[in-house]
A and B are shown apart, each in its own frame.
Chain A
């Protein structure tokens, strides 16, 4: 059974960088597309982007200028960096596995990140 677990700070100051890591167990990151998704009361569920194990990325244009997703196959992890955060970036952040045909099949538990001074 594939499991995903997000980790990282729950509080980030405005203008700083949000950094989260997703650790994958029960399967390898060396396949599939690995995604970040966030959920906020104001915007609902919002897809942030994905990385393929080869390093190919695809980002939501609305966030593209501020987002970097990377993968570390040796640690079976992938990571999210979102810079220049504002209160509008406050959300529950999920990592998730995505398949081109069957969409998202596994989600992490989610982690609340609050942007506040």
Chain B
């Protein structure tokens, strides 16, 4: 199985901050990496697919980058509605595996 190590597991940030979340894969996954946002009691929603493609309707302050084994999700200017938990997903090989999540909390 490909292990996805996500960091940090939690962070505190302020509105307007630039936030970067990292996922490292235990082996190369090409660009088969997606990012999801989940708010308490809600369904995960896709933000980014294919490493850097922005899901339609998602604000442009979200961006993704990376290749091979290291990937990042960046929120350029954190907004109040962005406080949530973020997960990465690799789908280069089976079983599909998720990162452990990053909880972004208000500072």
Interfacial residues, chain A to chain B (CB-CB below 8 A)? 35, 44-47, 58, 60-62, 94, 98, 100-105, 107-110
Query: What is the CB-to-nearest-CB distance from B14 to chain A, in angstroms, rounded to a whole number?
Result: 27
7 contacts between A and B (CB under 8 A): A62-B95, A98-B96, A101-B49, A102-B34, A102-B53, A103-B32, A103-B46
> Nearest A residue to B90 by beta-carbon distance?
A103
Query: What is the CB-to-nearest-CB distance from A38 to chain B, in angstroms, rounded to a whole number?
Result: 11
Out of B36, B49, B95, B101, which one reaches A102, CB within 8 Å?
Answer: B49
B98:A44 contact, CB within 8 angstroms: yes
A-B residue pair count with CB separations less than 8 angstroms? 52
Cβ contacts under 8 Å, B1 to chain A: 61
Cβ contacts under 8 Å, A108 to chain B: 43
B98:A45 contact, CB within 8 angstroms: yes
> Nearest B residue to A94 by beta-carbon distance?
B43
The CA-CA distance from A98 to B101 in the complex, in Å, is 20
Out of B36, B45, B96, B101, which one reaches A44, CB within 8 Å?
Answer: B101
Cβ contacts under 8 Å, B53 to chain A: 102
Q: Indicate whether A109 sits within 8 Å of B100 (C-beta atoms), given known contacts A45-B87, A103-B32, A103-B91.
A: no
The CA-CA distance from A46 to B46 in the complex, in Å, is 16
Q: Indicate whether A109 sits within 8 Å of B43 (C-beta atoms), given known contacts A47-B95, A62-B95.
A: yes
Query: What is the CB-to-nearest-CB distance from A21 to chain B, in angstroms, rounded to a whole number?
Result: 18
Beyond A46-B98, A107-B44: 19 further Cβ-contacts under 8 Å?
A: A35-B96, A44-B87, A44-B100, A45-B87, A47-B96, A60-B94, A98-B91, A98-B96, A101-B49, A103-B34, A103-B89, A104-B34, A104-B36, A105-B46, A105-B49, A107-B45, A108-B43, A109-B43, A110-B43
